[in-house]
Amino acid sequence: MKPIMRLFVAILLTTGAITSHAEEYTIKFSHVVAPGTPKGKAADLFARLVNERLNGRVHVEVFPNSQLYNDNKVMEAMRLSDSRTTGIMAAPSLSKFVKFSRTIQAFDLPYLFNDIDDVHRLVDSPLMSLMTRPLERKGLKALSLWDNGMKVFSIRGDGPLKKVPDDFRGKKFRIQSSEVHAAMIRALGGVPQKLPFKEVYQALAQGVVDGQENAWSNIYSKKFFEVQDWITVSNHSYLGYMVVVSERFWRGLPTDIRDELRQILAEATEANRRFAREADSQDRQRIEAAGKAKVVEPSADEIAAWRKATAGVEEAFRQRIGKDLLSRIHILLGH
């Protein structure tokens, strides 16, 4: 080959390598809540940090309030997507993943966790990877877990939810799509009603359901407190979200990009935990200041009665979740 031809080929190869290296990837981050919630703020922070640090290589767009997909459709879109350069990321509630990994149902169990620190002990332990590994066979890659907080109950009517089953009997409660949640409501004496998150306000306002369970940030941001009379600080279970992406898209990213995205996700996760702690306090105060729904604290004896009433739920789901896993979780949490 003549020198001039060798130089020409070298230029072409170099140009091709630069073009390949400079290829930009797009991540569309879809979620169903308001931007000001702990999840919404963490998603925005993740996008900002990625767009700053990986400028020209990865661009993240955030779509809140179900603007792009709801939680059910987004996971189907991830699994069907075959794009190499555009990936879908989302943070659906944990109950949405039960059809892919039954072990995830542990997070729905009533009073498994005494507080949010218990949740973090499990999430930060090696057990978490065991619980999420089955998702990869379904085309989803679990990247992190984000808090919203411990859930409380709200109700419309003459009195707060304190006594079981008297205060629950015959009342309809909106729940997420979770068999564990349904069993818990029935154990307390109520009637479970599965509804998409975006339909909850109207359902409460129109009396389709009497009450619901949620973290403080959702009750405030979606104004549920405007159509409820009582909020009972039950802290009965955890509301969290799994940050996931298409496994095929993730696997196809260059190693250095994956490493940087993991680091940014770790920072966003730490910030999310802070946002959730702040919302627990601030959004509760805002709700109390609004003067619409009255916030009540059950006594220790009343909470003990709730624990006793719902104790059978874990036993009913022990085989499905995994006896060994639940035993290891209890050992990890020290109870």
CATH of the domain at 318: 3.40.190.170
- Its domain, for residue 158, covers 152-238+286-333
Mean pLDDT of 129-148: 95
Per-residue pLDDT reduced to its tens digit, 152-167: 999 999 889 999 999 9
**What confidence category does residue 1 fall into, taking pLDDT thresholds of 50, 70 and 90?**
low
CA neighbor of 212 nearest in space, from 22, 203, 179: 203
- Has residue 196 been placed in a domain? yes
pLDDT at 17: 42
**Which amino acid is residue 13, in one-letter code?**
L
Q: Report the predicted TM-score, pTM, of the whole model to 2 decimal places.
A: 0.88
- pLDDT for residue 38 is more than 50: yes
84 Cβ contact partners less than 8 Å away, ≥ 6 residues apart: 249, 252
Report in angstroms the alpha-carbon separations of 276 from 46, 112, 144, 241, 295: 16, 19, 15, 12, 19
Report in angstroms the alpha-carbon separations of 154 from 18, 226, 270: 57, 11, 29
Q: Are 145 and 128 in contact (CB under 8 A)?
A: yes
pLDDT at 20: 44
**Weakest-pLDDT range from 18-32, 60-74, 222-236:** 18-32
**What confidence category does residue 333 fall into, taking pLDDT thresholds of 50, 70 and 90?**
very high
pLDDT at 18: 42
Cα(43)–Cα(255) distance, integer angstroms: 22
Instruction: Name the domain count of the chain.
Output: 1
Q: CA 96, 286, 228: angle at the middle one, nearest 5?
A: 60
- pLDDT for residue 187 is more than 70: yes
- pLDDT for residue 185 is more than 80: yes
- Has residue 161 been placed in a domain? yes
- Has residue 214 been placed in a domain? yes
pLDDT at 335: 85
CA neighbor of 329 nearest in space, from 129, 110, 125: 125
- Has residue 128 been placed in a domain? no
- Has residue 85 been placed in a domain? no
Mean pLDDT of 225-249: 97
**What confidence category does residue 204 fall into, taking pLDDT thresholds of 50, 70 and 90?**
very high
- Has residue 68 been placed in a domain? no
Listing DSSP states for 316-328 in one string gives: HHHHHH-HHHHHH
Mean pLDDT of 315-334: 97
- Has residue 164 been placed in a domain? yes
Mean pLDDT of the chain: 92
More confident call, 324 vs 6: 324
Q: CA 141, 146, 152: angle at the middle one, nearest 5?
A: 130
- Has residue 187 been placed in a domain? yes
Share of the chain above pLDDT 90, in %: 85
pLDDT at 319: 96
pLDDT at 2: 54
